[in-house]
Chains A and B, each alone.
Chain A
């Protein structure tokens, strides 16, 4: 079944003002980035329909075997391969993760980070994620190329109350920050070599910020080997609640969960 795709999805990133269709040929297969309330960032096709990966395609033999046992032909038929003859056209996703492969159906299929992509027959409209966790075989894939196996979340309340901040954790965080972070980010979070942390909205994203500290990016090294979970939590709590920032605390358990 060939998917005919002619219209482009309006992207959720406001700065991407060039419409996808402006450069895409009419037969291009388009992969787009979309934000869902229930599963965070996901990939979609040009109509906004959520894209899934199937563990029946897993490179891990055990996962693949289990998936094939759990998902019979009727189950597999609910997932329609995104057919593509060459690397799909996409904006605002990592180009190097896009590709094509000969899919299980035998036809050339679009891939992301090596995973063949599918749409789910029971998703009716943009934003539907009805295929998530189907038979424990189908999952969305995030723009970093990770299979996201979490259950869809209810949307957060708009004015969720941030948890109180423990002054002892703040004090510990201040000390660790001065010793570890201030060299680049400034004693008052004003930034220098590193990004300014005062007033930096991105610190509000718990997991992204914890991972940034653990793994690093660009010229910022990962601090996972040097800092304990409690250290990372204390530093993150301190920076998220200093210099006018009011993003609430980070717990050591959150850090632990993100260590690999």
Chain B
């Protein structure tokens, strides 16, 4: 700490002494409501850059023609370890890093020089859930007006002054001692902070998990939506097989949602029910709403406009909170190219859709944003948990793989529990009308095992066998290029190392992503051809981003351990040959001559 203070002091000293050594934070411009919806090409203001979660940058200085000359501009060590799921944000040449243990740093985005650091005081977590969650904080910050908003593992919202890192206010959102925790970051739009709570797998959280809105000026709660109960919606209450609301668990909306300004609507994903198997959950036969659903939420009131449940009766912890990506596109696959196609889909018509691979089992869903209707769906990785769809587009779970009694092992469930889709987010490119999504492909045996309720601990109550390869496969790492217009998979990148970072698309025709064997690479969006790659210090991680300062484009990517690497290494011991440390940020640029 003392050392960091010294570094901080030195950095600030340098800044005030020369005024040019680092980005001039004193001139930081407040992020406007308009910019949130339509940011400058140079900036990366939130998790997936824009409220539609596309993770697409209009920058094209670095492109398919020159990417092979990329070189390192600067690098930086993260001050905290743990799992690496950070998403750097950039505004006017200042980079903001939301780091594990609720540390936030502001750096000069052209040099990495430290401008300020905020170190949130946290309770001392003694083992259990919070001790691990504080070391896997994901995209835990967002920029809005003159503030940096931070979500914390002890379920607080904190507003920092973007110029100084000083705390403007903080508010305890829910009681962390019951189990609640933030692992994903906020989305701030039109004066409201939207967040999804985590930790609803923990004993003390019974009865509710929440998507919430707070006032960005004051931190006052505006609304909350319970993902496990809706007394006004009989369908929800009837889906729990008479388990009363106070005995329901799960439904953590643990990935940041998307926002549609035209409809003033949030689209947010909800996680799995708890315990993981229905025979222990007590919901046998019930779909357990709103778990594993997409919710369309009125941003002003928190009311659910519609829901679509991607995986009813989840018996396998396959979760469905992952990124919802908003796209405007024609979408008219041939019936033969997808597993489900709505009869209402009209060729040639442009739709406002949600494209998502919401759950660990890897299936792609395309939903109509107005109605929540499923337009089409298809698998990416091999899965056997959804057998098909009803005529009106409801997913049908595979009853044969649902455990009928405690301690009964169900074999070879394919849908990658522990090694399927995870937080690593896909990216969309309007150039190709394609959603690129990283998924690990695997199968597992699962056994429901009842346990005792203990304070601060998870109620999953299921043990898993070792990860196994999917049928006829000898590797698990995948990037699928899912064409939203045709429903086809235009290309797939298959390899042994898992894709351990999120993906990034750019107007330069590039797709960036990294893997657990240290390789960070740029692919041609059209063909999947690898155009450039570099071996970094350890597992490539978090969220690669791109930004521009003074007319020069940079690409940044974090490194550090990924939650799936242990499971992947159990499949292939070679994948263990990476040191699980070295949490860093690497930033790349074109050489001067190539500019």
| Chain A contact residues, CB within 8 Å of chain B | 13-18, 22-23, 33, 41, 86-87, 89-98, 113, 142-145, 183-184, 190-197, 199-202, 215-222
Contact = CB atoms under 8 A, between A and B. Distances in A.
B280 A192 contact: no
A218 B127 contact: no
Contact of A86 (B126, B242, B281, B284): B242
What 4 A-B pairs come out closest when comparing CB atoms? A95-B282, A15-B204, A200-B127, A96-B282
Given A93-B453, A183-B566, A218-B464, A195 B281 contact: no
Given A16-B203, A86-B242, A142 B452 contact: yes
Contacts of A194: 566
B443 to A, nearest CB: 14
Nearest to A197: B127
B455 A94 contact: no
B396 interface: no
Interface stretch (B128-136, B298-306, B332-340, B363-371): B128-136
A219 B418 contact: yes
Nearest to B565: A193
Contacts of B565: 193
Given A95-B282, A195-B127, A199-B127, 9 more contacts: A15-B204, A96-B282, A192-B82, A193-B565, A201-B127, A217-B449, A217-B460, A218-B464, A221-B463
Contact of A200 (B83, B128, B203): B128
B78 to A, nearest CB: 14
Interface residues on chain B, size class: 35 or more
A144 B244 contact: no
Contact of A94 (B275, B458, B465): B275
B112 interface: no
A150 B191 CA distance: 61
B243 A14 contact: no
Contacts of A192: 82-83, 135, 561, 580
B588 interface: no
B14 interface: no
Interface in B191-224: 203-204, 206-207
A15 B406 contact: no
Interface in B85-136: 126-128, 131-132, 135
A87 B282 CA distance: 10
A191 B135 contact: yes
A192 B539 CA distance: 14
Contact of B281 (A13, A95, A144, A199): A95
Contacts of A196: 127, 131-132
Interface in B446-481: 449-458, 460-466
A91 B206 contact: yes
B569 interface: yes
8 contacts: A94-B280, A145-B450, A183-B576, A192-B83, A192-B135, A195-B132, A216-B464, A217-B460
Given A15-B456, A87-B282, A193 B127 contact: no
Contacts of A95: 243, 247, 280-283
Contacts of B126: 199-201
B178 interface: yes
Contacts of B456: 15
Contacts of B576: 183
B31 interface: no
A219 B316 CA distance: 11
B246 to A, nearest CB: 5
A96 B284 contact: yes
A87 B242 contact: yes
Contacts of B284: 96
Nearest to A28: B244
B203 A144 contact: no
B107 to A, nearest CB: 25
A96 B452 contact: no
A94 B576 CA distance: 37
B12 interface: no
Contacts of B178: 15
B554 to A, nearest CB: 29
B278 interface: yes
B128 A94 contact: no
Interface string B4-37: 0000000000000000000000000000000000
Nearest to B276: A218
B279 interface: yes
Contacts of B244: 23, 89
Given A13-B203, A97-B280, A195 B461 contact: no
B177 interface: yes
A142 B452 CA distance: 8
Contacts of A215: 449, 463
A217 B279 CA distance: 16
A192 B462 CA distance: 20
A228 B206 CA distance: 39
A215 B449 CA distance: 9
Contacts of A220: 463-464
